[in-house]
């Protein structure tokens, strides 16, 4: 394998042969892929008039099922962003007519965020293209390797406390 991380590993092994640099082989590559993919995904979404946080909200609402609405609190539990960040995203998306705020019928103190018909159209149009883009990012590894990689990464995430939002 001759990637940028390999060159770093070779340099470190030459300079400090008594240390085990093998973690860099995994962590360094994951971090490098994250940065590369993050940029490519941001560029892809920007081509469709969306930011990653907006796509995240649209897809979260879409997969919640009809009537495609959730409370802001539900979003907070499922993400690593602050209340203010959710509020700013929703404000921006409401301005684009992608989502709307509706009063919660069971809790007058709460507001639900709901996909508008335009928001539903956008996510239904962009989602298949997004999936094709992500498949493109995984070109070069076959289905079995993808499954093995996904399983291994899930194990690492779980070991670091990453669990589904409740």
What is the rounded CA–CA span in Å between residue 68 and residue 54?
15
What is the rounded CA–CA span in Å between residue 32 and residue 150?
17
Nearest C-alpha neighbor of 60 from the set 41, 78, 73, 48: 78
18 and 3 share a domain? yes
Question: pLDDT tens across 70-80, in order?
Answer: 987 787 776 66
Q: Residue 159 belongs to a domain with what CATH number?
A: 1.10.10.10
71 and 23 share a domain? no
Distances (CA, A) of 134 to 37, 42, 127, 137: 9, 12, 10, 5
Question: pLDDT tens across 106-136, in order?
Answer: 888 888 999 999 999 999 999 999 999 999 9
Distances (CA, A) of 163 to 1, 55, 155: 33, 21, 11
What is the rounded CA–CA span in Å between residue 58 and residue 122?
8
43 and 75 share a domain? no
- Does residue 47 have a pLDDT over 60? yes
77 and 1 share a domain? no
Decide if 64 contacts 102 (C-beta within 8 A): no
Decide if 111 contacts 101 (C-beta within 8 A): yes
116 and 153 share a domain? yes
* Stronger pLDDT, 18 or 74, i.e. the higher one: 18
Alpha-carbon dihedral sign for residues 24, 27, 29, 31 = negative
Confidence band of 49 (pLDDT split at 50, 70, 90): very high
Q: Which domain holds residue 14?
A: 1-47
The average confidence (pLDDT) of the chain is 92
Q: What is the pTM of this model?
A: 0.86
Alpha helices in the chain (DSSP H): 4-15, 22-47, 52-63, 72-78, 83-95, 117-137, 143-159
- Does residue 81 have a pLDDT over 80? no
What per-residue confidence (pLDDT) applies to 106?
Answer: 83
61 and 24 share a domain? no
155 and 78 share a domain? yes
18 and 90 share a domain? no
128 and 147 share a domain? yes
How many domains would you assign to the chain? 2
């Amino acid at each position: 394998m001759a990637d940028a991380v390999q060159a770093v590993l070779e340099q470190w092994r030459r300079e400090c042969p008594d240390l085990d640099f093998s973690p860099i082989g995994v962590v360094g590559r994951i971090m490098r892929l994250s940065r590369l993919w993050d940029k490519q995904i941001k560029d892809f979404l920007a081509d469709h008039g969306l930011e990653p946080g907006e796509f995240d909200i649209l897809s979260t609402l879409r997969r919640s099922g009809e009537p495609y609405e959730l409370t802001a609190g539900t979003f907070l539990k499922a993400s690593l962003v602050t209340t203010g960040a959710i509020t700013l995203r929703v404000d921006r998306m409401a301005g684009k007519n992608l989502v709307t705020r509706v009063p919660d019928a069971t809790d007058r103190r709460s507001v639900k965020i709901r996909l508008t018909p335009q928001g539903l159209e956008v996510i239904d149009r962009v989602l298949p293209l997004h999936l094709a883009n992500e498949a493109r990012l995984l070109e070069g590894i076959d289905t079995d390797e993808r499954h093995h990689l996904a399983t291994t990464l899930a194990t690492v995430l779980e070991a670091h406390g990453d669990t589904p939002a409740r």
